[in-house]
Amino acid sequence: MKQLLSEIEEINLHKFMCYTDFDYDENSITIKKSNESYSSFIETKELLRIYKQFTKRKDLNVKVLENGDIFIKKISNLR
């Protein structure tokens, strides 16, 4: 999980407009979409940047939830 958190730090969510916060527990991370209204271009660009970062890894399950949050769950200890 530490490696996953460091990857989120590398993305530097503080520079984003829509995805600026996250919650985590021992097996998953939820990157939260802001409740503010932004253009769909900005939302999509940020979503894709985050999504692509984590879908490369075979040990993670990445889903975009109905509310726009990104849910990342660790499924194994593979690297």
Closest to 22 in 3D by CA, of 55, 74, 70: 70
- What pLDDT, on the 0 to 100 scale, is given for residue 77? 59
pTM over 0.75: yes
Burial of 69 (0-12, 13-18, 19+ CB in 10 A): middle
Whether residue 56 is contained in a domain is answered as yes
Whether residue 30 is contained in a domain is answered as yes
- Its domain, for residue 54, covers 2-74
Whether residue 79 is contained in a domain is answered as no
Q: What are the pLDDT digits (tens) for 30-78?
A: 999 998 888 889 899 999 999 888 888 888 999 999 999 999 998 865 4
Structural domains of the chain, count:
1
Closest to 69 in 3D by CA, of 53, 52, 46: 46
Task: Count other C-beta atoms under 10 Å from residue 51's C-beta.
Answer: 15
